[in-house]
Amino acid sequence: MTSSDKIRVAVLYGGRSAEHEVSLRSAANVIQYLDQSRFEVIPIGIDKQGNWFLGNDVFAKSLEHNKVSQLHDGSHTWFAPEWIGNPSERQQIKYLVTRTPGGPHFDVVFPVVHGTLCEDGTLQGLLEIAGLPYVGCGVLSSAIGMDKDVSKRLAIGSGINVAPYIVIKHDQWEENPAWFFRQVEEKLSYPVFVKPANTGSSIGISKVKSADQLQTAINEAFRFDTKVLVEKALNVIELEVAVLESLKTNSDPVVSVVGEIRPTHEFYSYDAKYLDENGAELLIPAPIPEMVREQARLVAKTLFLALECEGMARVDLFLNKDNQQIYFNEINTIPGFTQISMYPKLMQATGISYPELLTHLIQLALKKHKNKSQLIRSYAG
């Protein structure tokens, strides 16, 4: 295959998100393991200020210093986020998707970015508008998957257990914090977890053991989001299941073996996830009874379908040790993709290697885009 026959994969990495650094590590692996005989990689970095640029700086682990601040090929700027909504720049936005004499800039986008403005449907919306195929969940499931409250409501609607929780919106909190204190006392019992509704990697999350710590934890969570969850802490075994859409139409998704995350910290905190290399043990398969594993797989599949996920998702569950029931915790629509991350490891244990997984995801993106592009967008009666 000559390089012009190869599928050009734009790997998006970095991002204006608290999980920027995590993305760099995942993207370095994706770039390394994409099948070079079929794909040509075009790395596109997004720095913490939201500037996009072309290049391989993922391996330098930081995009912040002295980098080209816009995505360009020497003569044209392809895209800059500030163009969105700016009519005078419309022509330039078109350039992002225009075929040049040398072919398209890229055939498919692989977003390897986490968190808000990346994994939450906003980036997916931009790619939809640009008419580009992209890997993974679409706008709807990305947005729902990111919101820990809305995704739980859909889980409840599908008959799946979730830990009891209350939602606090920032404006309401400012107006009447005492009301929320009472709600926590009446509806939940300590300890509780306080979480921003829309972050990942345990950023802004605290475990609160008594009422006197609650206010500090809520204020901390509000630094990251305008919606916060206060959730009853369960006594849990943490389970994770990887789900991958099938390439065959109307077939069930591939549901992986079940893994267990056993944090060595009080909970699976940011430090346990990324800073302490002994912060958690990953056990594949989870050492739990076979019947419970099957229940977990069924719950993961049910959630993937209920949230209308596309491509991939990692479904994080709790096995509540007090009643042996499976609970939904959260879903990650762009899971960690380092070689030691749970999603690729679970797929590997299910018989799909890391390079095969990447190829499968790109094939799915191209297939979906082809199907979508056949839809009628205007109707004259």
Ligand X SMILES: Nc1ncnc2c1ncn2[C@@H]1O[C@H](COP(=O)(O)OP(=O)(O)O)[C@@H](O)[C@H]1O
Q: Report in angstroms how near the CB of residue 247 gets to ligand X at its nearest.
A: 29
**C-beta of residue 125 within 8 angstroms of C-beta of residue 379:** no
Distance CA 54, CA 275 (A): 28
- Please give the full DSSP string across 100-149, using - where no structure is assigned: BTTB-S-SEEEEE--STTTTSSHHHHHHHHHT--BSS--HHHHHHHH-HH
Distance CA 299, CA 160 (A): 7
By beta-carbon proximity to ligand X, the closer residue of 166 and 366 is 166
Binding site for ligand X (CB under 6 A): 163, 193, 195, 199-202, 205, 231-234, 236, 238, 263, 267-268, 316, 329-330
Which residues share a beta bridge with 193?
207, 231
Q: Report in angstroms how near the CB of residue 283 gets to ligand X at its nearest.
A: 15
Rg, Å, the chain Cα set: 21
Q: Report in angstroms how near the CB of residue 320 gets to ligand X at its nearest.
A: 9
By beta-carbon proximity to ligand X, the closer residue of 8 and 265 is 265
**C-beta of residue 33 within 8 angstroms of C-beta of residue 41:** no
Residue located via tokens 């760099």:
24
By beta-carbon proximity to ligand X, the closer residue of 107 and 119 is 119
By beta-carbon proximity to ligand X, the closer residue of 10 and 203 is 203
**C-beta of residue 315 within 8 angstroms of C-beta of residue 303:** yes
Q: Report in angstroms how near the CB of residue 356 gets to ligand X at its nearest.
A: 27
Q: Which residue is nearest to ligand X (CB)?
A: 268
By beta-carbon proximity to ligand X, the closer residue of 42 and 300 is 300
Q: Report in angstroms how near the CB of residue 198 gets to ligand X at its nearest.
A: 9
Residue located via tokens 């995704």:
151
By beta-carbon proximity to ligand X, the closer residue of 17 and 202 is 202
Q: Report in angstroms how near the CB of residue 267 gets to ligand X at its nearest.
A: 4
User: Which SS3 state, helix, strand or coil, does residue 175 take?
Assistant: helix
